[in-house]
A and B are shown apart, each in its own frame.
Chain A
Amino acid sequence: MPQGLFANSPKNFFFTGKGGVGKTTISAATAIALADSGKRVLLVSTDPASNLDEVLDLPLSAEPIPVPGVAGLFASNVDPVEAAAAYREKMVGPYRGVLPEAALRSMEEQLSGACTVEIAAFNEFATLMGDPETADRFDHIVFDTAPTGHTLRLLSLPAAWDDFIDTNVGGTSCLGPLAGLKTQHQLYENTRRSLGDATQTLVVVVSRPDVVPLAEAARASAELQKLGVTNQHLVINGVLQLTDASDAVAVTLRDRSMKALAEIPQALTLLPQTELPLRGTELVGVPALRGFFSQDSSVPSTRSGAKATPLPASLGTLLNTLESMSGGVIMTMGKGGVGKTTQAVNIAKALAARGKNVHLTTTDPAAHVALTLGETPEGMQISCVDPEAETEAYRNEVLATAGADLDGDALALMEEDLRSPCTAEIAVFRAFAKIVDQGTDRFVVVDTAPTGHTLLLLDASESYHREVSRSLSDIPEAVRQLLPRLKDPAYTKVFLVTLPERTPVHEALALQADLRRAEIEPAGWIINQSLAPLQVTDPILDQRRAREFRYIDEVICEGLPTFLIPWQDEPTKDR
């Protein structure tokens, strides 16, 4: 067991990091190690796409249950989406049959946003951390996922709490669903304080030895630091130990990790650090998790080469289909780090090479695209949506127009409201709408896609604006057209990009569900960075290759056109 991670173990452990870096595995292994040392431990996940059930091989619910085989360990799985649904039902339920159907629908719509889910998740943290009864039952509480900076900031808004909620003027400000939870103010305050107390809480930032997750880890770490959550530890998970120098894939992978670690963001170098080896086996079940912290990562080779699953078609097949279209929008969607940008570049490049007029746009800094792309081919135009710049511009626009007549206090409050993640989403969304508008006479390839949440927001906004019927605000025409265009399969083709691994596939499935809720049917799946079609001899990579088939099959079973891209030397360029 790594000494650094468990030195002066505080009461609460929080694990944070990008999807797919191994948060759940490491938090489960930590909880087991703590319980094995004789402590009473509660392990709880509040991740909407939690796979704690899968990792523990135990059906979990919001109510903690003992984990068989580990004395003193209890586990629970709080689904914030369910918690939000329960909260929504608590608000709406009593009014069924009392308020008219249309009013209930409008309430439900409003309580379906990302904010409600986020607050519901925080509410679960707060109840577990701040409730003395729970706190007394356990020596340690291990949380798989930390609250976001946004939630923490929201809860520390003194102006909003004191001036607005307490006096009930101006209603709720941007606290949205928090308004219904105002009696919990003290509980939240306690939770926030103990998050900032190094003797009570340790936040473990988890990353893969790769550029993008490291950058994300640095961002999360800095954001939490800024909010006073300073007791942090960095875990680099999945460093390949080179055992077979004749395996070209293994050598390249090792070099790539070493390079990423050599260029680790400055902010992370200040944190105490633990490095964990790449594993070939899937860490599922208590016995496997118990061995997790042992330094011995050697495994017998399984020689998986003869696997017979027919692999999905190559990207070339997809390009042939796209070529027959006269134009339209092609989007690569997926969680960060799965290779959306690289795939967007590949598709754009191939269409340009086939003589099409193409506009490629991305949130990646232009230099990266240029690097991936090489020289810009003839007939191709490149642009770059910088979310920070877009957000800044939108924020300034709002302050200059809607905020023009406000004085210091009111303006300060509006500025704070504009720091909500909604604002960034809306800003990118508007930039995105302008770009989609161009797809009428050419191909527009985008790797910046609005999330399901913004799409629902826009959908809801139509009725919202009908309600505030004399509203003076104008939705730009491109924004008004956006949703109908995205819903039109002849105009827009959305591809879900994933890696052939458990978490990215399950996250992409959640994304698919989000899209379908917004009535956007994906055109297909792209499985990126697959070892399946390659020859690997390194025993760990060979095991990982064998494991991929299960997730490839899971994607194929969705029944949408599926394409597979072999693992390549080049790192993904996603931001």
Chain B
Amino acid sequence: MKIEIYDPAMCCSTGVCGPSVDPELVRMQEVLRQIEKQAAKVKVDRFGLSSAPQAFVANSVVADLLKNEGPECLPLVFIDREMVAKGKYPSNEQLQAIMKRERIDVAFGKKNKAGSCCCGTDCC
């Protein structure tokens, strides 16, 4: 399974550089990290308009939307070439449901409480 995300032009995908932190960006970043960690066969590609414009040209669906609707159509999210979200990021539930169809189970749990295991960098 392949997830492709076409982000708007932004300073950083964590979103902490804006005039206020966008929790959607923080959520998305963490969700993608969990997917990569828990489901090895899912490949995630994330492209920012300002850092990887070639990706926006190479995907004809993205290129057409960008041409007809402008950058407001971003972000665009595809799962196995099927567009699952336009102008917003998919919800956790939506992503879980799509992956379940492929028998991939991913849990987006709450954080591990401090002191449980997070003492080093590679234990969690």
Contact = CB atoms under 8 A, between A and B. Distances in A.
Contacts of B84: none
A111 interface: yes
Interface string B39-66: 0000011111111110011000001001
A152 B7 CA distance: 27
Contact of B19 (A100, A172, A475): A475
A357 B8 CA distance: 46
Contact of B26 (A107, A115, A180, A406): A406
B8 A467 contact: yes
Contact of A168 (B7, B15, B45, B53): B45
B16 A402 contact: yes
B14 A401 contact: no
A422 B66 contact: no
Interface in B1-50: 7-27, 29-30, 32-33, 36, 44-50
A467 B48 CA distance: 13
A508 B123 CA distance: 51
B72 A469 contact: yes
Main secondary structure of the interface of B (DSSP, over half): loop
A404 B31 CA distance: 14
A464 B18 contact: yes
Contacts of A469: 72, 87-88
Given A95-B53, A411-B111, A100 B9 contact: no
Interface in A63-107: 91-92, 94-95, 98-100, 102-103, 106-107
A472 interface: yes
Interface in A157-183: 159, 167-177, 179-180
A127 interface: no
Interface string B61-89: 00100110011101100000000000111
Nearest to B87: A469
A226 interface: no
Contact of B67 (A100, A106, A466): A100
Nearest to A407: B111
Contacts of A406: 26, 30, 111
Counting contact residues on chain B (CB < 8 A from A), the size range is 35 or more
B72 A466 contact: yes
Given A107-B9, A407-B124, A473 B20 contact: yes
A128 interface: no
Given A98-B57, A169-B33, A398 B121 contact: no
B118 interface: yes
Nearest to B44: A169
Contacts, number: 200
Nearest to A113: B11
Given A461-B18, A468-B75, A106 B49 contact: yes
A473 B53 contact: no
A464 B22 CA distance: 11
A414 B30 CA distance: 11
Contacts of A559: none
B110 interface: yes
A171 B13 contact: yes
Interface string A455-481: 001100100111111111111100100
Interface in A377-423: 398, 401-414, 417-418, 420, 422-423
Nearest to B89: A470
Contacts of A402: 15-16, 21-23, 26
Contacts of A258: none
Identify which of A175, A401, A410 gathers the most chain B CB atoms within 10 Å of its CB: A410
B66 to A, nearest CB: 5
Contacts of A418: 16
Given A179-B51, A401-B23, A473-B22, A169 B46 contact: yes
9 contacts: A103-B66, A168-B44, A179-B48, A457-B18, A458-B19, A465-B18, A468-B75, A471-B22, A474-B20
Interface of B: 7-27, 29-30, 32-33, 36, 44-53, 56-57, 63, 66-67, 70-72, 74-75, 87-89, 110-112, 114, 117-118, 121, 123-124
Given A95-B57, A173-B13, A408-B121, 14 more contacts: A99-B56, A100-B67, A103-B66, A169-B33, A170-B14, A171-B47, A171-B48, A171-B51, A403-B26, A464-B9, A465-B22, A469-B88, A471-B24, A476-B20
Q: Which 5 A-B pairs have the closest CB atoms?
A: A408-B118, A110-B9, A470-B88, A171-B13, A174-B12
